[in-house]
Structure 1
């Protein structure tokens, strides 16, 4: 299906989408998982992970540059054949579906634990999914425009958060700087490289970005921003909360936000941070729903992606209700998915580059 240039994402919109989708992970349970792996040095793990992601992204970009009119799934079919292509396409779909379900449950549990304790989990999950469905249904262009409008405010709020917690920081808490040791940090860098998987999986909408240069620059800019924001905020959490409290607390951003004192006439500043956190969450999961619908549509060779958004939303909502509690969702479901995702998201692009060279489609 041909897409007019006016309906495509420009560099501003696509960069904003990527920054929000990846950067917001600094405000959920991701830092907690990093510190469980690396102890005091958990904030270093995203830096190691970014190296792996950079190498895989470079392979993917090399392949996309050759097949400029094809998305990720179409390239997989072209290089591996219809049977292996169908299997890989379904694996990508299943992976993104599970990631979406566990993350929506993660965010809903945060809302339920801290802000809406009397509201049933299912009601919060259904409200969140319905909100994301609406923006996903409007299309990727609407998601991009919303992300671009929201991004400046989100960046300002993030900077304000860093400034306001400055007086709470105790640098001594970050020591020993080596944490659990070099081996554990490197291992964590590999296992948790899935936190940057959006730069790979969003290539399924590559034809809906204006051009290759726009896609490439947006990916690198967003990756750099995400590494800085996740590492910086993770470091702040431990310098405020100390270790091991940062491991026990699965909502470090919101906990630290509640410690901020705004003076006699400014109270409940965490509610202000919550507003923009919810906006970013809806944008993120709206993009996930759209991407997931695109994955299954291209894998099954369906003509319309939007028709699948409703089905995908229902599946994700049902899956998000499976974990019995917050701890089970984070320590078992989400951790397992992140630790396995890197195999799919980062080995496949390298394999595609190799197959492209073997077929003579790409010359090194």
Structure 2
């Protein structure tokens, strides 16, 4: 299986991006942000996006200038083979640990909410097993699956928003800056890598019929994703208040249990669970595929499909290492976000400056 089949279109790129990045509205990221920003945490995605999106646009500009390159090849062309591979290896490690820590986060949600008696290891193996078989189908099937699933996933999210509107208490957003504007600004910069998946997707730059399709799709989806995440974070703070969000590990799941659909429909959270699980599976299918793709490009392994199995196994083994969800979320995942943020904010400017100094941008 070659990594660049060139069959994706704008709509598939939009679907992949919306599912891969947009699902952050339903994980434990809000609780993580509320730890320091309090009821101003809903502003952090906006600030993070403002910090990291110009860097992302620079990467798209460089990819357009070096239009025969993918992400890893671009870094090697600008900085030289060995420096480029070193940066690529660091990018791979970031993608791999993002996959590992995020998957443990989702496994904890599934176990706590739906299968409390099941061992974490069993759930992990089943979950990643499904992800592995999905990733083996290739980028074209992943894109098609993302597109046909998108309408159902977003319709369920829209229904949650509509049902939650009647319970909003707007006054709970005050004071708007929560623990203070300096804290909000600091957390906005430190957590800019909450959009790091946009950079991982750049490895698929040549997977579309035309690169203009990729650029159009990922930019449109990025803006929509920012709106979705901000909207849901605003709903969380308006319904639960920061004191509750601060203590609720999975606010989306609590919200689906809080809302009601008339007097005769009970346990509607089960309906939302189906679409949430679908989105979660697709998210990690995309992540494990992109991570393996990056590794294959670094070491010139064009047929990287056989690597999906060992990487899936490593995700499980390393994902099981944190003793509990608190260590995974408040220590490891927060540290990873803090480390990745300056990397993704600064690297594109360094690459652009190097390319300009070499005269490649003339």
User: What range is the shorter-chain TM-score in?
Assistant: over 0.9
Cross-structure match for 1:176: 175
Cross-structure match for 2:211: 212
Report the TM-score, using the length of structure 1 for normalisation: 0.96
SS at match of 1:116: coil
Question: Which is worse superposed, 88-97 or 205-214?
Answer: 205-214
**1:75–1:173: structure 2 CA closer, same or farther, 3 Å change rule?**
same
**1:292–1:4: structure 2 CA closer, same or farther, 3 Å change rule?**
closer
Q: Cα distance, 1:210 vs. partner?
A: 2.3
Question: Which is worse superposed, 256-265 or 158-167?
Answer: 256-265
Q: Cα distance, 1:211 vs. partner?
A: 2.0
Q: Report the Cα distance in structure 2 between the residues aligned to 1:2 and 1:118, rounded to whole angstroms.
A: 40
Q: Cα distance, 1:218 vs. partner?
A: 1.4
Residues 93-140 of structure 1 show CA distances to partners (whole Å, capped at 9, x for unaligned) of 111111101100000001111111011111111111111111111011
Q: Cα distance, 1:276 vs. partner?
A: 0.5
Q: Cα distance, 1:187 vs. partner?
A: 1.0
Cross-structure match for 1:158: 157
Q: Report the Cα distance in structure 2 between the residues aligned to 1:2 and 1:203, rounded to whole angstroms.
A: 13
Report the TM-score, using the length of structure 2 for normalisation: 0.97
Q: Report the Cα distance in structure 2 between the residues aligned to 1:281 and 1:246, rounded to whole angstroms.
A: 21
Cross-structure match for 1:283: 282
Please say if 1:144 is aligned against 2:143. yes
Gaps of 5+ in 1: none
Q: Report the Cα distance in structure 2 between the residues aligned to 1:39 and 1:192, rounded to whole angstroms.
A: 15
Residues 66-110 of structure 1 show CA distances to partners (whole Å, capped at 9, x for unaligned) of 111211111111111222122111111111111101100000001
Q: Report the Cα distance in structure 2 between the residues aligned to 1:10 and 1:318, rounded to whole angstroms.
A: 35
**1:305–1:197: structure 2 CA closer, same or farther, 3 Å change rule?**
same
Are the aligned partners of 2:99 and 2:315 in contact in 1 as well (CA < 8 Å)? yes
Q: Cα distance, 1:167 vs. partner?
A: 2.1
Q: Cα distance, 1:3 vs. partner?
A: 4.5
Correspondences of 1:55-94 after superposition (within 5 Å): 55-94=54-93
Q: Report the Cα distance in structure 1 between the residues aligned to 2:114 and 2:139, rounded to whole angstroms.
A: 30
Cross-structure match for 1:273: 272
Residues 189-230 of structure 1 show CA distances to partners (whole Å, capped at 9, x for unaligned) of 111111111221211121112222112111211111111111
Residues 175-198 of structure 1 show CA distances to partners (whole Å, capped at 9, x for unaligned) of 111212221111111111111112
Cross-structure match for 2:346: 347
Q: Report the Cα distance in structure 2 between the residues aligned to 1:343 and 1:229, rounded to whole angstroms.
A: 24
* Number of positions where the alignment pairs a residue of Structure 1 with one of Structure 2: 361
Q: Cα distance, 1:61 vs. partner?
A: 1.1
Correspondences of 1:305-324 after superposition (within 5 Å): 305-324=304-323
Q: Report the Cα distance in structure 1 between the residues aligned to 2:252 and 2:116, rounded to whole angstroms.
A: 18
Are the aligned partners of 1:64 and 1:212 in contact in 2 as well (CA < 8 Å)? no
Are the aligned partners of 1:204 and 1:294 in contact in 2 as well (CA < 8 Å)? yes
Q: Report the Cα distance in structure 1 between the residues aligned to 2:214 and 2:162, rounded to whole angstroms.
A: 32
Are the aligned partners of 2:52 and 2:344 in contact in 1 as well (CA < 8 Å)? no
Q: Cα distance, 1:345 vs. partner?
A: 2.3
Cross-structure match for 1:358: 357
SS at match of 1:248: coil
Residues 153-187 of structure 1 show CA distances to partners (whole Å, capped at 9, x for unaligned) of 11111110011112222112211112122211111
Q: Cα distance, 1:2 vs. partner?
A: 8.7
Q: Cα distance, 1:265 vs. partner?
A: 2.1
Correspondences of 1:1-364 after superposition (within 5 Å): 3-5=4-6, 8-363=7-362
Q: Report the Cα distance in structure 2 between the residues aligned to 1:305 and 1:40, rounded to whole angstroms.
A: 45
Are the aligned partners of 2:12 and 2:147 in contact in 1 as well (CA < 8 Å)? yes
**Over aligned residues, Cα RMSD in angstroms?**
1.3
Q: Report the Cα distance in structure 2 between the residues aligned to 1:174 and 1:2, rounded to whole angstroms.
A: 46
SS at match of 2:206: helix
Q: Report the Cα distance in structure 1 between the residues aligned to 2:102 and 2:169, rounded to whole angstroms.
A: 31
Are the aligned partners of 1:20 and 1:284 in contact in 2 as well (CA < 8 Å)? yes
Q: Report the Cα distance in structure 2 between the residues aligned to 1:307 and 1:172, rounded to whole angstroms.
A: 54
Q: Cα distance, 1:17 vs. partner?
A: 0.2
Are the aligned partners of 2:3 and 2:303 in contact in 1 as well (CA < 8 Å)? no
Are the aligned partners of 1:49 and 1:192 in contact in 2 as well (CA < 8 Å)? yes
